[in-house]
Structure 1
């Protein structure tokens, strides 16, 4: 709590030197990181998700066009396998 008050104090004195904390746009979903959820088109684009194996997550999307493959790669998902009906397999590898 003290840290928040101290940060607000310095922000008021030097607004251009204290960087605002970024607000997370995407919400975390059980088993999926927020940046992966954002790359899949957001929480409202997910119909369902479930782990298939130790190295793979099966996700069903409402609109496949909202998925961003480059953002998934940047989020640490090395492989994406597209199936019919909006089903996507995220090949994640063994997560530590």
Structure 2
């Protein structure tokens, strides 16, 4: 704690010389990689998630607008089925 206070003090005195702490990246959720969670809008945007089959994961989101379909494709999710009430099915394929 003392280290954080000291860092904040020096940052206030010399803002150009003290680097900001790195931003916390999305943490992986059971069954979902961190980059998939980030593409879905982060951990706080997930209401629930459950595997439906070997190739599909059902996710319920709080806010559908926070989901980035292009980022999901980059993260390795080849297909996305958007259903009603914030439910999304991620077609993941067989993961190794």
TM-score (norm 1): 0.75
Q: Which residue in 1 is equivalent to 2:25? A: 25
Distance 2:23 2:44 in 1: 18
Which structure 1 segments of 5+ residues have no match?
1-21
Distance 2:24 2:75 in 1: 14
TM-score (norm 2): 0.75
Q: Which residue in 1 is equivalent to 2:44? A: 44
Q: Which residue in 1 is equivalent to 2:76? A: 76
Distance 1:35 1:51 in 2: 17
Equivalenced residue count is: 75
Distance 2:62 2:23 in 1: 25
